[in-house]
Every structure is written in structure tokens, then in C-alpha cells.
């Protein structure tokens, strides 16, 4: 059996996501975007082009939405609900405010339409090769309806919980992402002041993170509660903390010597052990 999927929003990530759907033998794809060029590319890949959101909604069981922001998501859903009804599932891939998915699901339910929020992580590269992580919030029934489309676009699909959970999952993930970026800029300033090659530093970071898992290497516990001393993780994180505090102390001393401001390093030194649960 094939699933009739509509995809709205063919931007930098939406277009490669839609191309993955077009390549699937189990998906019958219709697309819509206000820009003609990506629509034409999807047509060449085997998708059908819709002339409006409403037309697309009338031809699809699962409607994937990857537009810019909350307002555009609301506009798209409003147009789709004019023709959608029982048997339709709307999948919101856009990253929106935490309370937006539940509000949209309430509106859609009055029309007999299911909604899941399913933001993605992995960027345009992950979208192109079908290795996105997709974090889904919604009922079991809605998740099951969306699953064929999700599996065609991602290699890790996780049902995070009820509606809104996918968005909260994505926000937690991206908090770490952008805090880590900020920490990277701090490390770059220190390395630059020390006369080091920043491009080579970047190579080392990417190389070792690919081996160790980067910040995700510590994320194996199911709780952030303090760790009992007889717990396996106590010894592991005690060792991590000892190494971290030593290296952070040295890095901060070097920064002081070179007159480089490293506030995130100072915060990490103060918070590392407690944050790990010690």
C-alpha cells in the first residue's frame, strides 16, 4: 500500500526532505511552495505539483508542513482545514513555540484532523541522505498515520510523547547545540590569542567528537537526580569531573594570562560536577 503525502515548504531543509519522499516506492507525493523552482525540481523527481494548499490537502492523507514560523504554520493549517477532515494527519516539521502544537491540534480536532509536531535535527545534509532525527509529539494513532512518511525522511524517529513533546524535545536538543556553539567561539578566542591555527582546531574537535560522541557522551542516564555513590555512573562521572575541572582550571589560567574573557569556562568549572549529578 502507498501513503498519499503532501509536502508544503520546499526550502533548504524541506526540499531534500520532500525529495526523499519522492524517491520512496511507498509514498505518493504532492508538493506545494510559493517558489516555482523547487516545485519544478520535485516534479522532475516524480512528485505532483499542487496549485494551492487546499488542493494539496484534498489529495493527501498525510500533510507535512515545513515553513518558516508559527504564523506561516497557522496560515497553512487554516487553508488545509477548509478541505481536510477525518483520515487526515498534519505533520508540523517547523520548529515553533512550545504551546503552538497543542493549540493547533485543538483547532484541527474540531475538523476531524489529527496533528503531530515532528521537528527534525540533522540539517540539510541529514535531510538529503535520509538520516534526520525526527522527534514526534502526538497520539499513538496520529504517530502511526505519519510513520510511513517519517521513516522515508529520517533514520531515527522517536515518539517523544503527547502533542507538543516533539517541539520540547527539539528545543532541549538545540539548547545544547547553540550553547556548545557559544562555547566553541570562546575556545576559538583562546586558541587565537595563543597563536594557534583555528581551522586545525576545528578539525580536531570534529574528529574527536565523531569518536567520543561529543556532549552526547554523558547523556545515558534517565534522570538528572543526584547519583548514589554505589551507582555505576558515580565513578564514571567522578572521573569526568576530575579531568574536566583540571583542564578547565588550566584553560582559565591561560585565558587570564592572555587577557581572554572565558565566562562559559568559568561557569562550567563551577557547575560541572553538580550538573553531572555528583
According to the model, what pLDDT value does residue 1 have? 82
Query: Does the pLDDT at position 209 exceed 90?
Result: yes
Reported as a single tens digit per residue, the pLDDT across 96-155 is 999 999 999 999 999 999 999 999 999 999 999 999 999 999 999 999 999 999 999 999
Q: Say whether pLDDT at 87 is over 90.
A: no
pLDDT for position 230: 97
The answer for residues whose C-beta is within 8 angstroms of residue 164's C-beta and 6 or more apart is: 98, 99, 101, 102, 117, 137
Residue 194 has pLDDT above 90, yes or no: yes
Cβ atoms < 10 Å from Cβ of 85: 12
- Give per-residue pLDDT as tens, 14-45: 999 999 999 999 999 999 999 999 999 999 99
pLDDT confidence band for 85 (50 / 70 / 90): confident
CB atoms within 10 A of CB 251: 19
pTM of the predicted structure, to 2 decimals? 0.93
Does the structure show a pLDDT above 90 at 50? Answer: yes
Mean pLDDT of the 206-226 span = 96
pLDDT digits (tens, 9 = 90+) for 218-266: 999 999 999 999 999 999 999 999 999 999 999 999 999 999 999 999 9
DSSP H or E run through 156: strand 154-161
Q: What would the mean pLDDT of 44-62 be, rounded to a whole number? A: 97
170 is catalytic: yes
Q: pLDDT at position 170, please? A: 97
User: How far is residue 273's CA from residue 240's CA, in Å, rounded to a whole number?
Assistant: 8
The pLDDT of residue 228 = 97
Q: How confident is the model at residue 77 (pLDDT cuts 50, 70, 90)?
A: very high
Give the residue-averaged pLDDT of 75-82: 94
Domains and CATH numbers, the chain: 3-168 (3.40.50.720), 220-276 (1.10.1040.10)
The dihedrals phi and psi of 103, each to the nearest 5 degrees, come to -65, -40
Measured distance between the N- and C-terminal CA atoms of the chain, rounded to whole angstroms: 52
Predicted pLDDT of residue 147:
98
Share of the chain above pLDDT 70, in %: 100
pLDDT of residue 193: 98
Residue 86 has pLDDT above 90, yes or no: no
Instruction: Give the residue carrying C-alpha cell 519522492.
Output: 22
Are the C-beta atoms of residues 119 and 135 closer than 8 Å to each other?
Answer: yes
pLDDT band at residue 52 using 50, 70 and 90 as cut-offs:
very high
Cβ-contact 31, 50 below 8 angstroms: yes
Q: Please say whether the dihedral angle defined by the alpha carbons of residues 171, 177, 183 and 186, taken in this order, is positive or negative.
A: negative
In sign, the C-alpha dihedral spanning 256, 260, 262, 265 is negative
Q: Which of 170, 203, 229, 246 is catalytic?
A: 170
Amino acid at each position: 500500500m502507498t501513503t498519499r503525502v503532501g509536502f508544503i515548504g520546499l526550502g533548504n531543509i524541506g526540499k531534500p526532505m520532500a525529495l526523499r519522499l519522492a524517491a520512496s516506492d511507498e509514498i505518493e507525493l504532492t508538493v506545494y511552495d510559493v517558489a516555482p523552482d523547487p516545485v519544478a525540481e520535485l516534479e522532475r523527481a516524480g512528485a505532483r505539483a499542487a496549485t494551492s494548499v487546499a488542493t494539496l490537502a484534498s489529495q493527501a492523507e498525510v500533510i507535512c508542513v515545513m515553513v518558516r514560523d508559527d504564523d506561516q504554520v497557522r496560515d497553512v493549517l487554516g487553508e488545509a482545514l477548509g478541505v481536510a477532515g477525518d483520515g487526515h494527519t498534519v505533520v508540523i516539521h517547523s520548529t515553533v513555540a512550545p504551546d503552538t502544537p497543542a493549540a493547533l491540534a485543538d483547532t484541527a480536532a474540531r475538523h476531524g484532523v489529527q496533528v503531530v509536531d515532528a521537528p527534525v535535527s540533522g540539517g540539510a545534509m541529514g535531510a538529503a541522505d535520509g538520516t534526520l532525527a525526527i522527534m514526534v509529539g502526538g497520539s499513538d494513532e496520529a504517530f502511526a498515520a505519519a510513520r510511513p512518511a517519517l521513516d522515508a525522511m529520517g533514520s531515527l524517529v522517536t515518539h517523544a510523547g503527547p502533542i507538543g513533546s516533539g517541539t520540547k524535545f527539539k528545543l532541549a536538543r538545540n539548547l545544547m547545540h547553540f550553547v556548545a556553539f557559544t562555547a566553541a567561539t570562546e575556545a576559538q578566542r583562546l586558541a587565537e590569542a595563543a597563536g594557534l591555527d583555528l581551522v586545525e582546531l576545528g578539525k580536531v574537535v570534529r574528529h574527536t567528537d565523531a569518536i567520543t560522541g561529543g556532549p552526547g557522551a554523558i547523556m545515558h542516564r534517565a534522570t538528572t537526580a543526584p547519583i548514589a555513590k554505589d551507582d555505576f555512573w558515580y565513578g564514571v562521572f567522578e572521573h569526568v569531573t576530575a579531568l574536566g575541572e583540571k583542564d578547565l582550571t588550566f584553560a582559565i589560567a591561560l585565558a587570564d594570562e592572555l587577557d581572554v574573557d572565558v565566562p562559559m569556562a568559568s561557569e562550567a568549572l563551577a557547575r560541572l560536577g553538580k550538573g553531572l549529578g555528583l
